[in-house]
Each structure stands twice: as structure tokens, then as C-alpha cells.
Structure 1
Amino acid sequence: MDIKGNTVTVNKSSKELFDFFTKLENYEQLMPESTEKFEVDGDSFIFGLKGMPEIRLVMKEKTEFSNVTLGAASSKLPFTLASDIEKLEENQSNVTLKFNGDFNPMMAMMVKKPLTKFIETLTENISKL
């Protein structure tokens, strides 16, 4: 299952955005208002949204100034959340969030709508940076 967020333009350089996305504590600024828990632990963080199970994300991959990919810590529900950064000008970049999950059809049907909403909220909060 793939979910691609809207591309947003941010008045920051690709280096600034890359640095932002590689510091896990910064993801707290992007979380929805319904976040009940957010804790950074080394190269991972755990967060909980109201009415949903807690999720632990780990730093999986970094491509300097263009991509930061987080992934599920648990192999039960394998997925990744990538932040693709595209430099437009010296202090302006585009960011696109991409979610990729390996779910069975029933699970995909249940989580698609809340995940899409979650990606939209993260994208909206990135645009405010």
C-alpha cells in the first residue's frame, strides 16, 4: 500500500530540512494535536495517537539533503515513511512524504483512511516550518 502526500514548498534550504528530519525529536513538531505520547530513544522514537496503538519508528536510510526514511521497528507490520526533499532555490525546497506498507488487503482497507489523514497532517505541519 502506497500513500503519497501532497508536495509542499518550504522556505528552508535542502540542508536545513535534511538536518530537521534527521533529528528525531523534531518529529514531535509535526505530529497531530491528538498525540498522547512522543518519546525519542536513540535512533528511534515512539508515538501514540488518541485511540490508536503506539508506533515505534527507526531511522532506516539517509541520503544527504534529499531523503530521510523512517521505518517500523516491528516486522509484524512492515512499513516506511520517506521524506523526499527537492531543492528549488538556495532557501526554498519541496518536501513530499511517501508511506509504503506491506499489509494484507483487509488491514490495508482498515488503515488507509487514518494513514492518509495522518500523512496530510504531517504535510500540513511541514508547510508551517
Structure 2
Amino acid sequence: MTIIQNNIDINKPVAEVYAFLADLNNHEQLMPENIYNWSSTADEASFTIKNMAKLALKISQRIEHKELVCVPSTEAPFAMTLRWKLDEKSADLTNATFVIEAELNMMMKMMASGPLQKLVDHQVSKLKELLG
């Protein structure tokens, strides 16, 4: 299991950060430029990663103000789980951690680890940019 993650502090209450992340329609704003053909509902999203793959994700678990878990809803290039974990530091400060857990063989790990880390880093920084 390959685990790729990053976290950031956001100057917002945990309920506000959770409400934003709980709706997959908002996740398009977190995506890098190489994502296109975005389509989403509150619970599912599908998109294409330029020169890579088409992905469809669905929320498989919601723990209010704590965690959101997304898994592929169609065939994916490899098994993976995307997880947002929230930790309330104070009334107006939330730590958000984005974790991708992926089943990668050695070859896939060499090819995908860099792009996946860039995706994680991009999403946490965009979340901070959007929510403060």
C-alpha cells in the first residue's frame, strides 16, 4: 500500500471546511489544470486526467466534521482510496489532511507517486487558498 499525503491549517471552523469538502461539486475548484471533462453531483464526480486516465469517484463514507472517504465508482487503473481528515484545532482553525492510499506495483509506484504527490499538494494548497 502506497500512502501519499499532505496537510494544512485553515482559518475556518471545522464545520465550514467539512461542508465544502462534503459536496463533490466543490472539488472541481481543487483540481489542477490537467483535469478536464469534469462532471459531478454532491456524492459522485467523474473527470479525465490529461494523458492518463478517466476516473469516477463516489463518497463511500462521511463522518461529520471528521472525515470524508472517496473510492472509484468505476474501473480504475489501480485500487485507491482518497481520504480527507479534519482535525479541529480551535473554534476558527482546522487542520485538513488529504491522503491517497493506492495499491501500486513497483512499476506503477515509480510512474504514479510523483503525479499523485503533486495532486495532493495542489489540492491542500487550493483548499487553503479558497477557504483561507
Distance 2:103 2:74 in 1: 12
Root-mean-square deviation (CA, aligned residues, Å) is 1.5
Aligned length: 128
Cα offset, 1:15, TM superposition: 0.9
For structure 1, which segment, 50-59 or 24-33, has the greater mean C-alpha deviation from structure 2 after superposition? 50-59
Are the aligned partners of 2:23 and 2:42 in contact in 1 as well (CA < 8 Å)?
Answer: no
Distance 2:80 2:33 in 1: 23
Distance 2:103 2:49 in 1: 21
Tell me, what secondary structure is at the counterpart of 1:118? helix
Residues 61-80 of structure 1 aligned to structure 2 (within 5 Å): 61-74=61-74, 76=76, 77-80=78-81
Residues 38-117 of structure 1 aligned to structure 2 (within 5 Å): 38-41=38-41, 43-74=43-74, 76=76, 77-117=78-118
Distance 2:3 2:90 in 1: 29
Percent identical pairs in the alignment equals: 25
Corresponding residue for residue 22 of structure 1: 22
Cα offset, 1:109, TM superposition: 1.7
Cα offset, 1:50, TM superposition: 2.2
Corresponding residue for residue 13 of structure 2: 13
Moved over 6 A (4+): none
Tell me, what secondary structure is at the counterpart of 1:74? coil
User: Scaled by the length of structure 1, what TM-score is found?
Assistant: 0.91
Distance 1:110 1:33 in 2: 19
- Structure 2: give runs of 5+ residues left out of the alignment: none
For structure 1, which segment, 28-37 or 80-89, has the greater mean C-alpha deviation from structure 2 after superposition? 28-37
Cα offset, 1:41, TM superposition: 4.5
Distance 1:35 1:99 in 2: 17
User: Scaled by the length of structure 2, what TM-score is found?
Assistant: 0.89
